Amino acid sequence: MNILEKIIADKYREVAERKSLIPTKLLEKSIFYDGKVVSMKKYVTDPEKSGIIAEFKRKSPSKGLINGSASVEQVSIGYMQAGASALSILTDQEYFGGSNEDLKIARKFNFCPILRKDFVVDEYQIIEAKSIGADCVLLIAAALESEKLKSLANFAKSLGMEVLLEVHDGEELKKSLNDGVDLVGVNNRNLKTFEVSIDTSLELVTAIPDSFIKISESGISDPRALMQLKKAGFDGFLIGENFMKSSRPEQAAYNFIKEFKRLAASELSEA
Ligand SMILES: O=P(O)(O)OC[C@@H](O)[C@@H](O)c1c[nH]c2ccccc12
């Protein structure tokens, strides 16, 4: 069993347990449930913004502990002040040290699109995502049959939420792309082997139809790499560890975005 298979097997167990504890009727009573969805598509493509989706991630199976002391309130507010377009909040507890509470806190303190970063295998988790204040859910091609992925995407749509489809290669893209998807993310990290390369994004970008917003995910640690990805056609950039490994993730995001803007401006003036 590779790590992704193990995470997914555990996720099915976790969801079954949650379902028996908290019925969807109760989730639908949450104060966030009827809140207006803030569009990830719109914020990521806003030319006034950086396109960066800044992630709150305490630990990961590939890196172990990344940041054991960061406050989600302080970091999420700081990320947005630094110029991020949106937030990604890990809610998986077992492997990533996140929680639904983290996302609720981020929601309480920020008006911006929030991606629920988790391993969605059941409609229940999409209702749950809405009930904690998320605007967008992640669907991972490597973890879902294409028919199931499509029905989950349509279900999210029916709740007014947006869908980020995550792929790692051309085959996954071909089998999983459907009309319920809003954004396509190319994960530079192979979730089965943990290998990371930005080339994954650069090679796949032209295969993504232009009707989808294009996101490059993982392993981005240099504003120059971001420039390169932007030039190749990516609209958005999902960055976690590079910020979270700092004792002040929000400051790291500020410095990164400042440098990115400087590079972009100097290229414009050279052109
Ligand atoms: O921390 P990084 O290398 O900047 O990556 C962020 C994000 O892309 C990564 O956390 C991620 C991408 N897809 C996922 C699926 C599940 C959990 C986590 C992820």
Give me the residues paired with residue 236 across strands. 215
ipTM score of complex:
0.99
Half-sphere exposure of 220 (CA within 13 A, CB side): 32
Of ligand 1's atoms, which has the minimum distance to the CA of residue 242?
4
> Using alpha carbons only, what angle is made at residue 152 by residues 135 and 24, rounded to the nearest 5 degrees?
70
Write down the mean pLDDT value for the chain. Answer: 97
Going by their DSSP bridges, the two strands 64-65 and 213-217 should be labelled as: unpaired
The residue whose C-alpha atom lies closest to atom 11 belonging to ligand 1 is 218
The Cα 50–Cα 253 span in angstroms is 11
Percentage of the chain exceeding pLDDT 70: 100
Whether 239 and 61 have beta carbons less than 8 Å apart is answered as no
Residue 55 carries which side chain, given as an amino acid letter?
E
What are 146-205's pLDDT values in tens digits? 999 999 999 999 999 999 999 999 999 999 999 999 999 999 999 888 899 999 999 999
Catalytically annotated residues:
55, 57, 117, 166, 187, 217-218
What are 14-40's pLDDT values in tens digits? 999 999 999 999 999 999 999 999 999
For residue 193, the model assigns a pLDDT of 84
Domain covering 3-33+43-270 assigned CATH 3.20.20.70 in the classification: yes
Structural tokens at position 192? 């089965």
Domain residue ranges in the chain: 3-33+43-270
Which of 4, 5, 55, 222 best tests ligand 1's pocket when mutated (most atoms within 8 Å of CB)?
A: 55
Structural tokens at position 74? 């302080």
The Cα 107–Cα 97 span in angstroms is 18
The Cα 84–Cα 74 span in angstroms is 14
What are 78-88's pLDDT values in tens digits? 999 999 999 99
